[in-house]
Every structure is written in C-alpha cells, then in structure tokens.
Amino acid sequence: MDAQKFLATTVFIILYSILIAKGEKLIVSTLIQDPYLFNKAKSGNAPVYEGYIKDLLERLSKDVGFTYDFIFPDDGEYGRQLPNGTWTGMIDDIVSKRAHMIAGSLTVTSKRADVVEFSYPFQITNLVMVLRRPDQARLPVIDRIKRIWSPFESSVWLLTIAAFFVTSSAIYVISYFNPYDWRRLARDGEATIRERESFTCMNSFWFALSALTLQGYIRSPRSLGARVVVTAWWMFVIVFVSCYISKLTGLLQIPPNEEEIEGYMKFQGLRDVINRNIKFMVIRGGAVDDLIRYNTQQEYIQRLGAELKSGGSGEYVANLTEGIKKLENYPSGKKAYITESLMVKYQTQRYGCQFYFVNEKTVKRQYSLGFPINSTYTNLMGRYILQYHEEGYLDYLEKKWFTGSCNQYIFEGTDEKYKIQEFYPLDTASFSGVLIVVAAGILIGVLVTIVECIIFKWAESGDPGHREHEPQKESKPDDIQTTSSLLGQQNDRTDTQTDVERSDKCTIVFLETDQTGFASDITDNENTAIPETEKFARKPVACGNFNFTLKNYQIIRY
C-alpha cells in the first residue's frame, strides 16, 4: 500500500511539474565561453547566441515547454563562497533568486550542492593540464644533408662503394675475356658494333649503377660467368635499397628537437607539475581551485594547494581565455594551465594547435544544470538529460562543438604509448651478409668464366676451319641506296667482271673515292674509319688484307 502511495505521489509531482512548466519563462544565468555559448552577431547588432548550451536549452524548451532569457553575472565568475558566507557569480544569481536556472560549464562540488540543486550531469570530464607545444625546430642545411647518409654507418657506405667498383670491374673483365660474351661474338661477325660496346669499361660501371638505382638496362651480359656476378649484385641491391628506405623512414619520424619533445610526451599529470617544478595556473574560485586548496587525501595535490596559498609556482587567472593567452607567451613546457573544462579542446583550434593536453584520470568532474533548492525543474530536466544520453544526442553535441583538428595532441601521458623510438644506423655487422653474397658471386663468376674459356678453346681446336670475322656493321639507308646505284650501273661496265662477288671465306668490297686512281697495296682493313664522300670511283677489291693509301674512302659491304 505504501508503495502504491509513493508511486502515485511521484506521478502527481511529475504531472504537476509539467503543467506548471508549460509556457513559463525562465531566467537562465550563464557565461559567454566558447564553445558553450558565444555571440555570433556583429558589434552593435542584437545578440545571436550559439553553442553547446544554446542547443541543449533549445531541445529542453521544446520537450519541457518553456521559454528563456539569458542573464550574465557582473563579476563573470562561476561561483565561489566568500569568507562571510556569501557567493559570487552564477551561484549568487540562484541564491539571490535573480535566476531560475544555471546553464554552463558549472562543475558539481559539495559546497555548491549545499545552496544549489543539480540535475543529472550532461557532461563528465577529467582534469586537464594544458601546456604549450615545443616550437618547430629547423635543422641547419649541413645537418639536413647529413640526414641523407644517416641510415647507414660510414663503414657501410665505404663497403658499398667498394662493392660497386669491384663488381663493375668484374663485369668488365669477364665480358672482355669471356669468349661467349658480346665482344668475342662481334669479332666473329655474330654481333653488331653496338652490341660489342655494351660492356666496355664505362658501360659496365653504368650498368651496375643503374641497377643500384632500380633502373632498367638495354642488354644484359651474355656469358654465364657475367650473369652469375650480375645476379649476386642484384641481390645486394635489393637488400641495400630496402634497408635504406626502412631506416630513413624511421629517422624522419624523429623530430629535430628530440629531447624537448620526449620530455613533454612523458608528462603524466599533476604529479609532474610538482616533481618538475612547473609553474601552473587555475581559475580563481573555480572547481579546480577548491579541489587543490581543500584536498586532504592526495599529497601531491596538497603541495599544489600550498603553492597557490604562498604565491609560489601557483597563479590565479580570471577565466580560461586569460590563462590560454598567458600560456601562449610562455616558454614550452615551463608552465601549465590546470582546468577541468572540455573547452580546452575547442581552444586548440583557435590558437592553431599550439598546445597539448594531458588528462588526469584520477580526478573526474561533472557538469550539470543548477536550480534553486526544491525546484520542480530539477528532476524534470534531469530526466530529459538522461534520455538525451541514451539517445546519443549529447554525444552528437560534443562532437559538433568540441571535436577539431587538434585532438591528436590530447595525451594520456604514459611512457609506453608515447615514447619516441630511438634510432640506430645500420652497422657493418648487420650488413655483412649481403656483402658476402656479392663476394661469393664474383668468385663463382670468375670460376665459371675460366671453365667457359677452357670449353671454347677445346671446341675451337676441334674446328680447323674456324676463323675470326670482322664485326657486322648495322645497315644504313644510305648504304642501301649507294649499293642500288652501283648495281644499276653494272650494265654500263665494259669489263665482264661482276660488281658483287662472294666467296665462302670473305666478302668482296668496293673502294669509292673522290680522287682519281684507285687504292694500291691493300692490306689491313680492321677498325678503319669510313668518311662520307661526294664523288665516287668504284673498283672491285679482292678478299684479303689491305691498306688504304687514299685520304678519303668508304667501304661498302654487299
């Protein structure tokens, strides 16, 4: 029976509260503080208020059924108790009956709860330490250049250069002497002049360098010995480039002023304010001020309170804006602003992410709406606020007004999570394995080349008809045209000798010159320059060794 009476009484009170609330105009005491409440209108125009509190009151006014007007305390304070027992700020507006409700970032404390009733909290937050971020340090030009070589120790770079020169030289020597490579094939007439020059001394070094920079190539070595060396070099290149990129990535993640940044990353909370002798600021008469001055359980907080009372490292500010401005002009890591307000997330965007924040998880604070004692609105609006929590509406408001681009600078202060990883350059011991692979590849390539030379000599000794031939020259359109014109004049010849004659051992050539007369004493024709001429004389030259006595001549093959 008692339970039924209690239920009926509760329902009656709620219904009665709703009835008397419908259409009532409430006076709301608050403070202008971004992003909870701010005036969007330009100076001189009627105020247009926006913010977290504005959106919350608009929703409550629709659900409960009331209208409201804002008033602002003359002293601009949240509310603190004076020695004579009176109150200041928004709390005084309620006590003096100038307002029906307090709406703002008002923290629930035991002293305030003696004179004001609080609804269900609409926000729960931690204590926050705000510090100025270290300035972005710029390295000198010399140090920036040194960073390019920092991934490896000096010994590794020297060994890499040595490996490059040794490998390039090995490729050149093997290509020069190996009978199955381009040089010998060109001598036998089985490769062009360009193919013959693929692995000259300069081109061999260029081939190794292009592989080191992951570039392509036109021709690869043809002999097995040279290919063994190139394969070992490619394995070296893969390991070298992979290690360099991975080490350079880790190096670039380390900031220039590593010691200073590591110091603020290790900042863990209020204990560090005392342990590091950091100056700090709090809002006078705010909830943090009460927490620090009247705490009797935590020794480090009591020490903070002693600093405030003595005027040592502690300092009072009037509001959040004043504290942020003082922090902006103070050296990094030397001063902290302690607050429980979520407004610091918003302030980071206004000041270009100049600050970072450390959450003090051991201290939880609540923001609630304040009402006079025995107000009919306390439970009514508290019930709707609880409903907004369940619906996710309050989470939506927090994301709308407090989430910004600087949230990455809100830290929990644990060494494990935010410790800057140390960088170590790659040393010779770690890099020696791939150097051994290159050395083994060169050794095996030389042995294979020796075997190839032996096989070639054995095969050559079994072929008595084998002779070396001049390298094939790549055909040109002018050669073909000249040949055609010469062949076209064949019928005009008085002699019966054929212009183009071929034998099984050599090729008949024509000698063309702008001088009268023909060549005599023809002997050696290897590696002879062939200039262009305008006047031509032609004569079939028999196969054999010959030497040109004329200054201008051209040899054309058929």
The mean-pLDDT minimum among 68-77, 411-420, 488-497 falls in 488-497
Q: Cα separation of 89 and 339, whole Å?
A: 18
Higher pLDDT, 515 or 348: 348
Does pTM top 0.85 for this prediction?
A: no
CATH superfamily of 2-122: Periplasmic binding protein-like II (3.40.190.10)
Given pLDDT bands bounded at 50, 70 and 90, which one contains residue 405? Answer: low
Is a pLDDT exceeding 70 seen at residue 363?
yes
107 assigned ligand-binding residue:
yes
CATH superfamily of 258-366+405-418: Periplasmic binding protein-like II (3.40.190.10)
Structure token pair of residue 439: 């050395």
Which pLDDT score is estimated for 260?
Answer: 52
Q: Cα separation of 438 and 444, whole Å?
A: 10
Is a pLDDT exceeding 70 seen at residue 32?
yes
Structure token pair of residue 533: 């001429």
Residue ranges matching CATH 3.40.190.10 in the chain: 2-122, 258-366+405-418
Which pLDDT score is estimated for 11?
Answer: 55
Higher pLDDT, 274 or 441: 441
Is a pLDDT exceeding 90 seen at residue 70?
yes
Could you give the angle at which helices 52-60 and 393-402 cross, rounded to 10 degrees? Answer: 160
Each residue's pLDDT tens digit, 218-258: 777 878 888 899 899 999 999 999 888 888 887 776 665 55
On the 0-12 / 13-18 / 19+ scale of CB atoms within 10 A, 94 is buried
Each residue's pLDDT tens digit, 490-501: 334 333 333 333
Cβ neighbours around 502 below 10 Å, total: 11
Give the mean pLDDT of 51-56. 94
Phi, then psi, of 204 in degrees rounded to 5 = -65, -40
Q: What is the mean pLDDT of the chain?
A: 74
Give the mean pLDDT of 137-152. 75
Give the mean pLDDT of 102-111. 90
The mean-pLDDT minimum among 83-92, 252-261, 418-427 falls in 252-261
271 assigned ligand-binding residue:
no
